[in-house]
Amino acid sequence: MPHKTIGTALLLAGGLVLSSTSAFAADPTMLGNTCAGCHGTNGSSVGPATPSIAGLTEDTIVEAMKAYKSGERPSTIMGRIAKGYTDEEFKAMGQFFSKQKMVIYPQSTDAAKAKKGAKLHDKYCEKCHEDGGTVDDEGTSILAGQWMPYLTFSMEDFNAGTREMPKKMKRKLEKMLDKEGQAGLDSLINFYGSQAK
Nearest residue (CB) to ligand HEC, 41 versus 50? 50
Please report, as residue ranges, which positions from 89 to 128 form the binding site for other proteins (by CB under 8 A). 89
* Closest distance of CB 91 from ligand HEC, Å: 11
Among 149, 158, 159, 177, binds other proteins (CB under 8 A): 149
* Closest distance of CB 7 from other proteins, Å: 11
Q: Is the dihedral of CA 48, 140, 85, 27 positive or negative?
A: positive
Q: How far apart are CA 39 and CA 51, in angstroms?
A: 6
Stretch that binds other proteins, among 14-22, 120-128, 137-145, 178-186 (CB under 8 A): 14-22
Does 118 interact with ligand HEC (rule: CB under 6 A)? no
Please report, as residue ranges, which positions from 123 to 182 form the binding site for ligand HEC (by CB under 6 A). 124-125, 127-129, 139-141, 143, 151, 154-155, 166, 168-169, 172-173, 176
Q: Comparing C-alpha atoms, which of 88, 85, 96, 91 is closest to residue 53?
A: 96
Does 183 interact with other proteins (rule: CB under 8 A)? no
- Each residue of 135-160: b (16+ CB within 10 Å) or e? bbeeebbbbbbbbbbbbebbbebbbe
For residue 125, the one-letter residue type is C
Please report, as residue ranges, which positions from 33 to 72 form the binding site for ligand HEC (by CB under 6 A). 34-35, 37-39, 50-51, 53, 61, 64
* Closest distance of CB 22 from ligand HEC, Å: 21
Q: Comparing C-alpha atoms, which of 150, 148, 142 is closest to residue 50?
A: 150
Give me the residues that bind other proteins (CB under 8 A), please. Answer: 16, 18-19, 22-27, 29-31, 33-41, 45-50, 76-77, 80-85, 89, 147, 149, 153, 156
